[in-house]
Amino acid sequence: MKIALFIPCLVNHYSPHIAIDTLALLEKVGHDVYYPEGQTCCGQILTNSGCHKEAIGTVEALSKSLLSEPCDFIVAPSASCVVALKENIERLENQEYTHKLVPKIYELTEFLHDICPISESLKNVNKSVSMQMSCHGLRLLHLATPSELTVEKPFNKFFDILKLIPQLDIRKPKRDECCGFGGSFCIDESDISGKMSIDKVNSHLATGAQAIVAYDPSCMMSLQGIIDRNKIELEVLHISSLLNQAL
Amino acid sequence: MTSRDSFLARFKDTAISGHALPSLEFAKIEAPLKELFSELLIKVGGQLGTSNKKQALQNFVDLQIEDGYQVLSLVNGIKGNRNPLEITSPHQLSDIDYTITPSSIAVAENGSVWIDEEQLITRNSVFICQHLIAVTSVNNIVGTLNEAIKKINKIAGNWGCFVSGPSKTADIEQALVIGAHGPMTMTVWLIE
Amino acid sequence: MADPTSHAERSAIFIRNEERVDWHSESLLNLRDKRDIQTKSLLEWEKMREAASQMKMNVLSNISDYLQLFADKCTDNGMVVHWAVDDKEHNDIIAKILQDRGKTKLIKSKSMLTEECHLVPHLESLGIECIESDLGERILQLKEEAPSHIVVPAIHLKKEEISQLFHEKLGTDKYCCDPTYLAHAARKSLREDFLTADAAMTGVNMAIADQGAFVVCTNEGNADMGAHLADLHIAVMGVDKIVPNADAAALLMRMLARNATGQPSTSYNSIFASPREGTETHIVIVDNGRSERLKNKDHAEVYKCIRCGACMNTCPVYRRSGGHSYEYFIPGPIGLAINANDESSHSDAWACTMCASCTNVCPVKVPLHKIIMHHREKIAESGHLPYAKSWYMPTTAAILKSPNRLNVAIKVTKIGLQLLPQPLGNIVGGGWTKSRELPKMPKQSFAAWHKKNRGK
């Protein structure tokens, strides 16, 4: 497939290794991947606080950038940015953007699960990991069955992808509770946010895993901040890094 | 005071419109109803009578009367020591230990029984006693509340209550306490 | 120090006692876990949620017709119906009913509507004694505190505190804090009040339009005890309590306790459709802002709510901040959804991480997180954003829409943070650095790496 890489501003500036790993793994499984220039923020920093009008500029600029070349899919290594971008594009009420962009935008895990499953055999990764089921991906992108719902056959796309990696010991914390990042919440309500994040780190620690594996870089940043402050022995990995390692 | 018409006029610009009433039919419970009812009754803090014979209940009642308890029976064929016909005000029941009442419907999914005014001398018979005993038959057990509500003889113009176990509260540190304001115990006798 | 005025300030105080916050959060998660056991054992649960949601949308689509039907049927059943446009009228109607009959002692069961209207202080100012009979509400009445949860109002209190309170007010043993002992002491004390009250008041859980009946659900039996002793029963309800028929009421009776506390049913589901012989039953139907909110399609769905409180039990923010941190008298997600757009609640709308757990537990599918987001938008449009957002959001927008500007801003921040001494860096980092280290800045952005390594 021809894939346009959407690299959220947070990943671009704070976690470029996630973008590098995503690019590498998509190329390894045979996709033609390119990185459109001039990408801006998906707007959720602004729209999270209700500032939809203020977000128009950045959403339009990003949309133009993603339309610069034709592609089959637009893939991003961040669930919350995918959710926000799709919503914010629809709000522009620009027919071209809505029809040409929104159906193509996928988060990495759902792309690999629903659209282009990995058929290559993967190398062993001897590690124990605890799944960070971030809220936007879980409840809004439906990457797994959330704990609140009654479902005959619960599913977990994130787990299904991780399961492809031989020797990977996959664990999960007791609850699928929010990590406390919440966009500007971590600044506005910093006390509650800090408490939520430390509780989340502790719940991952309780699984005994060596590392947290996540699909959302914003949550990763929040948990990493707690881990660094408290000098906790726990790695924080994005799924793209694990997959790239295994390919 | 606001008239009905001027009150209702405030709702003419409601933004929600055009939603039809959906089907309110749900799956019946087919499982062994007596067993399920008994299990749930215990789960909600209730108890089952020790026999399916009316005489056994009468024997139980006689024992309580011997021990000096006040028993109000509203069930044909069970005799207490308080005459229902003498009750002219609910306040007179404040010293009642046992109320025994018939019930026309039992609900397996929550161990409850339907008791209504047509079967009572006064509504508070169900609440003011220390111990409530409901008498019903296995044939009166249905699976769900959806099934049960269709079997109620009369709603409009009546009063009735689905009673699920004894009164309880968990308002103090979520600790379950049996016996709040209503009866301390609730027993269902499934009589033939 | 100035009085805390924002949710963040109040929760910062609540969270100081970490052990207590953990205890508070676990108490609520206990309710959530018990709920899950019930809902996952009912394989039709999601079908029931959808039906309950559509039923409530049907009610809101036809609210005026249903209210008329309900009132007509109640009147046929011998009950008296009153209409109150606002909290003041609600209080005046009730005061008049009581005063006209020379009533001086009212015993009431739990009703958040009476909290909303501040009924009890009003009646007490007129010399009418009001006793709360629900144990949680009674505790708070004696303590002179507001409820912190709509179903388990005293969840923020420890048994030692309740023991101390009961010792002072009811004369219980100073050292015994066993919940059974305390609850039974309240049973004994309130029994006297039930027997001497000359009027009773209850809320309404469901108002069955086609029967002229209303349902009152309790575990304690207090609503019934009061109503079946006094010769005057006043039932108060918001317009949104209407359900079309008995089948709809049964559906909600199956869902309410399961979702609220993980019980298959409350101990009592009491269906009132006539006054007791020789007594009076009055029903007060209240608007108080509901008609206004119902005019807004983004807001109206809040009135599907059946008051189970499950949204509070699951909300990670509510669990760690407590009901008293919120401006509105109803806390948690449903409180924000109902009122966070109002200026009086200005910072409440940001007491939320948009995790959407509340929306998933709601038995009637109120789109809670979407409504809260809608309120944020309305507040932003009004220019009254809290937490200095009105100041920095426009600048942020200008930077974000240009990749070059953002690059410059990031470079400046990087350099600035390297030059600043750590403590100042913490101040610049704002609330983030209270509990976290700042993220380690990489040497170059992905865009720069890509240009260098992929040549474009």
B157 touches chain C (CB under 8 A): yes
CB-based contact B2 C84, cutoff 8 Å: yes
C18 vs A contacts (CB less than 8 Å): 195
Model confidence at C420: pLDDT above 80: no
Kindly state whether residue A121 falls inside one of the protein's structural domains.
no
pLDDT in tens, A99-155: 999 999 999 999 999 999 999 999 999 999 999 999 999 999 999 999 999 999 999
CB-based contact A150 C42, cutoff 8 Å: yes
Which residues, in sequence order, are bridge partners of residue B106? B113, B141
Based on the fold, state whether residues A93 and A9 are members of the same structural domain. yes
pLDDT over 70 for what percent of chain B? 100
| pLDDT band of C345, cuts 50, 70, 90 | confident
C278-286: average pLDDT? 98
CB-based contact C385 A152, cutoff 8 Å: no
Based on the fold, state whether residues A94 and A153 are members of the same structural domain. no
Kindly state whether residue A140 falls inside one of the protein's structural domains.
yes
Kindly state whether residue B23 falls inside one of the protein's structural domains.
no
B130 touches chain C (CB under 8 A): no
Domain total in chain A: 2
A162 neighbors A129 (Cβ within 8 angstroms): yes
C87 vs B contacts (CB less than 8 Å): none
How confident is the model at residue B131, as a pLDDT?
Answer: 98
Based on the fold, state whether residues A181 and A242 are members of the same structural domain. yes
B85 touches chain C (CB under 8 A): no
C425 touches chain A (CB under 8 A): no
Single residue among A67, A84, A115 that ends a domain in this structure: A115
The CA-atom distances, in angstroms, between B10 and each of C70, C73, C74, C204, C208 are: 17, 21, 21, 22, 21
pLDDT in tens, C360-373: 999 999 999 999 99
User: What's the distance, CA C207 to chain centroid?
Assistant: 20
Nearest by CB to C55, which of B24, B109, B149? B24
Based on the fold, state whether residues A42 and A141 are members of the same structural domain. no
Kindly state whether residue B51 falls inside one of the protein's structural domains.
yes
Identify the residue among C58, C165, C191, C228 best suited for mutation to test binding to B, counting B beta carbons within 10 A and taking the highest. Answer: C228
Kindly state whether residue A122 falls inside one of the protein's structural domains.
no
CB-based contact A177 C357, cutoff 8 Å: yes
Kindly state whether residue B16 falls inside one of the protein's structural domains.
no
How confident is the model at residue C425, as a pLDDT?
Answer: 60
Model confidence at C59: pLDDT above 90: yes
What pTM was estimated for this model as a whole? 0.96
C436 vs A contacts (CB less than 8 Å): 194, 197, 222, 225-226, 228-229
Based on the fold, state whether residues A155 and A107 are members of the same structural domain. no
B130-144: average pLDDT? 98
Domain that holds residue A239: 128-246
C389 vs A contacts (CB less than 8 Å): 49, 51, 184
Average pLDDT, chain B: 96
CB-based contact A41 C406, cutoff 8 Å: yes
Residue A16's CB: how many other CB atoms inside 10 A? Answer: 20
- Residue B133 belongs to a domain with what CATH number? 3.40.50.10420
- Residue A52 belongs to a domain with what CATH number? 3.40.50
Average pLDDT, chain C: 94
Based on the fold, state whether residues A148 and A111 are members of the same structural domain. no
pLDDT in tens, B150-183: 999 999 999 999 999 999 999 999 999 999 999 9
Model confidence at C170: pLDDT above 80: yes
Using CA coordinates, name the residue in chain A closest to C34: A148
How confident is the model at residue C424, as a pLDDT?
Answer: 61
Based on the fold, state whether residues A43 and A136 are members of the same structural domain. no
C279 touches chain A (CB under 8 A): no
Based on the fold, state whether residues A111 and A148 are members of the same structural domain. no
Kindly state whether residue B2 falls inside one of the protein's structural domains.
no
Based on the fold, state whether residues A105 and A206 are members of the same structural domain. no
C245 vs B contacts (CB less than 8 Å): 24
C100 neighbors C107 (Cβ within 8 angstroms): no
Residue C183 tokens read as: 């609850």
CB-based contact B162 C249, cutoff 8 Å: no
Domain that holds residue B98: 31-190
Domain total in chain B: 1
The sign of the torsion formed by the CA atoms of B48, B54, B56, B61 equals positive
How confident is the model at residue A176, as a pLDDT?
Answer: 98
| pLDDT band of C438, cuts 50, 70, 90 | confident
- ipTM of this predicted structure: 0.98
Nearest by CB to C439, which of A60, A151, A221? A221
Based on the fold, state whether residues A78 and A153 are members of the same structural domain. no
Kindly state whether residue B84 falls inside one of the protein's structural domains.
yes
Q: Of C153, C410, B6, C178, nearest to A9 (Cα)? A: C410
| Helix runs in A93-238, H state only | 95-100, 108-110, 135, 157-162, 185-188, 190-205, 217-230
pLDDT in tens, C306-333: 999 999 999 999 999 999 999 999 999 9
Kindly state whether residue A120 falls inside one of the protein's structural domains.
no
B173 vs C contacts (CB less than 8 Å): 27, 157-159, 179
Taken in order of first residue, the domains within chain C and their CATH numbers are 7-13+310-382 (1.10.1060.10), 42-157+198-291 (3.40.50.10420), 402-454 (no CATH)
Based on the fold, state whether residues A163 and A238 are members of the same structural domain. yes
Residue C413's CB: how many other CB atoms inside 10 A? Answer: 15
How confident is the model at residue C423, as a pLDDT?
Answer: 61
pLDDT in tens, C105-133: 999 999 999 999 999 999 999 999 999 99
Based on the fold, state whether residues A75 and A12 are members of the same structural domain. yes
C447 vs A contacts (CB less than 8 Å): 7, 12, 35, 37, 39
CB-based contact C435 A194, cutoff 8 Å: yes
Neighbours of C, requiring at least 3 CB pairs below 8 Å, are A, B
Nearest by CB to A191, which of C15, C359, C379? C15
How confident is the model at residue C323, as a pLDDT?
Answer: 96
Helix or strand (DSSP H, E) at C311: helix C310-314
Model confidence at B31: pLDDT above 90: no
Do A and B have ≥3 inter-chain CB pairs under 8 A? no
